[in-house]
Chain A
C-alpha cells in the first residue's frame, strides 16, 4: 500500500475573520460571559423599572395610610409590605430606582470623565506638570470622602444638584489617581515611543494608543464607586442635604426604616437589597467588560 503525498491538494487558505470593529469584538466576547450577561440583565431590568415607574408601580409612592403601617411582606394589596408611614414599599422601591440610579451613577460618570482626563494628561505629560496636578489632587484626597461631601454640599446649600456636584468632586481624586498610575505605566512602553517616532502629536497618541490601554482599568475602578456613591448620597439625604423625604430614594428609605428594623426587619432591609444588587451587578458587569476589552 502506498501513500502518496499529494502536495497539489488545494488547501483552503484560512482567511482571518471578517474585519470587525474593536467594539463589535468586545460585545461578541461579552455575550459569552454568563455572569456579566446576568448582571447586565438585572441592571437593565432596574433601569426599565426606573423609566417605566408610573406604569409599573401599583400605587402612588406618596400616599400614606396610618392603618397600614409596617405591614409585613405578602400583605394583601402590599406585596412587599409598607413602610413606617404606610406607603406601599413596592411602589416606593420602583420609583426610588429613578433617584437612586441618578444619584449613584451620575457623580461617578462625571468624575470618570473629568478624573480620567486629569489623570491621563498628568500621567502622559509627566515631570513637573504631573507633580503639580497630582499634589493638588492629593489635597482633595486627604479629606475623608464623607466629610468632603458634607462640607461641600453644606456650603453650597441643600438640594439634589448640589449633592450631585459635591459627590462628583469627591470621586474625581481617586479616579484621577488610578488614571495617572495606569497612564504612567503605559506611556513608558516602546509602542508609545514608536508612535512618537512616527511623528504623531501627543493628542493623537493619547487618542489612538493610550486611551484603549488605560480606560479599562479606570472604568472597572469607577464602577466600583457606584455603590459608594449611593451610600454617600443616602448619607447626605439623611443629613437633609440631598434627597429629602418624602422623595423615594433607596438610601433615604434605608435610613428612615432604620427604626423599624426590630419591628419589621425584612421590609426594612429591602432598600438595602436594592442598593446591594445594583452595586454588585455594576461590579460584575464591569469585571466582565474588562476581560472582554482585554484582547490578550
Chain B
C-alpha cells in the first residue's frame, strides 16, 4: 500500500510516506474542546479538589501551510497546549483531528503516526538534546525508530545538518555541549525535520536565543517552511517575533482563547481588551512613543479559583456588569477575526474610551 515516493530530501522513502489527504481547504489540525486540569490537591471531606485550569476549553484550527502564532503571558497555557497536541500530556477531554482523521480513535490516525507528522522544537536547546549522543545520532534517532537503517538515518541526518546551516563533517560527531545555543537550536530543528513532519510546533523555540541569532534562526525557519511546505504552530511571548512570522495569531488568557485572527487585523485593531493591553505593552522603536505606564494593572488571577464570568473581567478596564456574570463565547467580530469579549465592538472602534479608562486605573 505504501508507494515509493521521492521525498524532499531527494531520497526514496518507503518508511516515511507523507500524504496530503483533504486538500487545502481542510485544516491540517483541528482542536476541539481541549481541556487539561492539573489536580494539585485531592478532594477531601467537604472540600473540593483543587485544580489548576491550565487549558480550559480551547478550540482552533491550523490551516495547511500557514503559521499560527500563539501568544499570551506566562502560565496562560501555551506550552501545555503544545504538549497536549503532541500527547506528551494526556488531555482530560477534547478531540484532535489531523487532516480529517481523529487522533487515537478507531478508524482515525494512530498516535504514533500523528507524532511522526507533528514534530516539536523545545525552548531549552540544551535540555532537549541527549548529552551523551552525538548530534548526528540525535537527529538519526527518530528515523531509526520508524524503521530506517542506521546508515540511512545517519545519511539523512548529515543532509539535514547541511540544510540547517551546519557543515556535516564539522558538526556531525560533536556533542551538544560543544555547540552554541543557536547551533543547538538548529540541531533541534534538524531533528524535528528528520521525520518529515507536516506540522512543526515551535514552543518558544527562539526565545532563549540572543537577538541576532534569533533573527538567523527565524529566517532559517521561514526558508525551511517554504522548502518543505511545512505548517508552523509558533508559540512565543514575543509579540514582535510572532507578528513577523505568523499568518494568524491566537491570544490565550488563562487557558482559554481570548482572540484569534489574521496577524495584521489583530495587531491593527485588537478586539479584546487583553490583546489591546498586550500590544500597547510592546516596546516601541520610536523614543517619542515610549510609555512608562503599565497598560494593565494587577496579576492574572489565580488559575485555581477562577473569577466569575469573563476571566479577564477583574483586570479589564472596559468591563461592564454583564462581564462579571457570564463567560463570553468566542464569536466572530470581523472577517476571519473572532474574540471572546462582550465589548469587542467598543474595544475595536472606541479607542479613546479605553485609554481614558486605563488612565483612570493607573
Q: Which residues of A are at the interface with B, using a C-beta cutoff of 8 A?
A: 13-17, 19-20, 22, 189-191, 193-201, 204, 208-209, 212-213, 295-296
Contact = CB atoms under 8 A, between A and B. Distances in A.
A14 B171 CA distance: 10
B115 A296 contact: no
Which 4 A-B residue pairings sit nearest by Cβ, starting from the closest?
A190-B128, A198-B142, A212-B132, A200-B145
Given A193-B122, A204-B145, 18 more contacts: A13-B169, A16-B170, A20-B173, A22-B132, A190-B124, A190-B128, A195-B141, A197-B86, A198-B141, A198-B145, A198-B191, A198-B195, A199-B116, A201-B145, A213-B132, A295-B132, A295-B175, A296-B175
A199 B141 contact: no
Specify which of B128, B167, B172, B188 lies most central, judged by the most chain A CB atoms within 10 Å of its CB: B128
Contacts of A20: 173
A212 B130 contact: yes
19 contacts: A16-B170, A16-B172, A16-B174, A190-B122, A190-B128, A191-B129, A193-B83, A193-B120, A194-B122, A197-B120, A198-B116, A198-B119, A198-B195, A200-B142, A208-B141, A209-B133, A295-B131, A295-B177, A296-B177
A189 B126 CA distance: 10
Given A193-B122, A194-B191, A15 B169 contact: yes
A260 B172 CA distance: 64
Nearest to A190: B128
Nearest to B188: A194
Interface string B181-216: 000000010010001000000000000000000000
Interface residue range, chain B: 35 or more
A30 B167 CA distance: 30
A13 B170 contact: yes
B130 A213 contact: yes
A193 B142 CA distance: 12
A190 B133 CA distance: 14
B112 interface: yes
A193 B132 CA distance: 16
B131 A296 contact: yes
A201 to B, nearest CB: 8
A197 B177 contact: no
Interface of B: 83, 86, 88, 112-113, 115-116, 118-120, 122, 124, 127-133, 138, 141-142, 145-146, 167, 169-175, 177, 188, 191, 195
Nearest to B201: A197
A7 B141 CA distance: 39
Contacts of A189: 127-128
A208 B167 CA distance: 25
Specify which of A189, A199, A200, A296 lies most central, judged by the most chain B CB atoms within 10 Å of its CB: A199
Contacts of B83: 193
A16 B158 CA distance: 13
A198 B169 contact: no
A198 B170 CA distance: 26
A213 B170 contact: no
A199 B147 CA distance: 11
Given A198-B115, A199-B145, A19 B173 contact: yes
Contacts of B167: 13
Nearest to A20: B173
Contacts of B120: 193-194, 197
A204 B142 CA distance: 11
A204 B146 CA distance: 11
Contacts of B88: 193, 196-197
A209 to B, nearest CB: 5
A16 B171 contact: yes
A199 B175 contact: no
Nearest to A201: B145
Contacts of B172: 16
Contacts of A15: 169-170
Contacts of B173: 16-17, 19-20
B221 to A, nearest CB: 17
Contacts of B177: 295-296
A257 B122 CA distance: 63
Contacts of A14: 170
Given A17-B173, A190-B122, A208-B141, A197 B130 contact: no
